Structure 1
Amino acid sequence: MTSPFHIEEIYSDDGSDSLRMPRRQVGNSPQGFAMTLMADYTLRTRAALPSAAIVALLTESGVTTAGARTAISRLARRGVLEGSRHGRRSSYRLSRAAAANLSTGGNWILTSATAAAPWDGCWTMVAFSLPQDHSAQRRALRSQLRWLGYAPLYDGLWISPYELTPPARAHLEQLTLGTVTVFRGRQHPLASTSDRAPIEAWDIDAITRHYEEFLESWTPLLPMVRSGQVDGAAAVRARTEVMDTFRRFPTLDPQLPVELLPAGWLRQPARELFAAVYDGLAQPAEQHVRAVVRRFADSTPLDIRAHTTTDLIAGVRGDGSVDPAETVPPAEWTSPEGSDDQREPRRTPIDSRAG
Structure 2
Amino acid sequence: MSAPDLELTGPVPSPAHRPLHQELVVTLYGLYGAGGMLPVSALVAMLADLGVDGQAARSTISRLKAKGILRSRKHDGVAGYTLSPDVLDLFRADDQRIFAPERSKPGDPWSLVVFSVPEAERNRRYELKAELTSLGFGFVAAGVAIAPSTVMGQAMGRLAERGLDGYAEYFSGDYLKSGDIRALVPQWWDLGSLDRQYEDFLEDYAGLADYWERRTAGGGPLPASEHRLAFATYVPLLTLWRKFPYRDPNLPLEYLPEGWKAPRAKQAFLTLHRILCDPAATYAGELLDARN
Give the alignment's TM-score, normalised by structure 1.
0.65
Give the letter aligned to residue 288 of structure 2. V
Is the aligned partner of 1:41 residue 2:32?
yes
Is the aligned partner of 1:159 residue 2:146?
yes
Which has the higher mean CA deviation after the structures are superposed, 272-281 or 221-230? 221-230
TM-aligned CA distance change 1:207 to 1:187, over 3 Å: farther
Which has more helix, going by share of residues?
2
Q: Identity of aligned pairs, percent?
A: 26
Task: Using the TM superposition, give the Cα deviation of residue 58 of structure 1 relative to its aligned residue in structure 2, in angstroms.
Answer: 0.5
Alignment of 1:107-256 (within 5 A): 107-112=96-101, 114=102, 116-120=103-107, 122-162=109-149, 165-166=152-153, 168-169=155-156, 171-172=158-159, 174-178=163-167, 180=169, 182=171, 184-188=173-177, 197-226=184-213, 227=215, 228=222, 231-256=226-251
TM-aligned CA distance change 1:129 to 1:268, over 3 Å: same
The whole-number CA distance in structure 2 between the counterparts of 1:120 and 1:63 is 48
Is the aligned partner of 1:294 residue 2:285?
no
Using CA pairs below 8 Å that are at least 6 residues apart, which structure has the higher relative contact order? 1
TM-aligned CA distance change 1:232 to 1:248, over 3 Å: same
Task: Using the TM superposition, give the Cα deviation of residue 261 of structure 1 relative to its aligned residue in structure 2, in angstroms.
Answer: 1.3
TM-aligned CA distance change 1:211 to 1:87, over 3 Å: closer
Task: Using the TM superposition, give the Cα deviation of residue 117 of structure 1 relative to its aligned residue in structure 2, in angstroms.
Answer: 3.3
SS of match in other structure, 2:123: helix
Task: Using the TM superposition, give the Cα deviation of residue 96 of structure 1 relative to its aligned residue in structure 2, in angstroms.
Answer: 3.4
TM-aligned CA distance change 1:232 to 1:154, over 3 Å: same
8 Å CA contact 1:231, 1:281 repeated in 2? no
- Unaligned 5+ segments in structure 1 are 1-24, 298-355
Aligned positions, number: 265
User: RMSD of aligned C-alpha atoms?
Assistant: 3.1
SS of match in other structure, 2:119: coil
Give the alignment's TM-score, normalised by structure 2.
0.77
Give the letter aligned to residue 37 of structure 2. A
The whole-number CA distance in structure 1 between the counterparts of 2:21 and 2:150 is 37
The whole-number CA distance in structure 2 between the counterparts of 1:292 and 1:166 is 39
The whole-number CA distance in structure 1 between the counterparts of 2:78 and 2:153 is 47
Which residue number corresponds to residue 57 of structure 1?
46
Which residue number corresponds to residue 277 of structure 1?
272
Which residue number corresponds to residue 23 of structure 2?
32
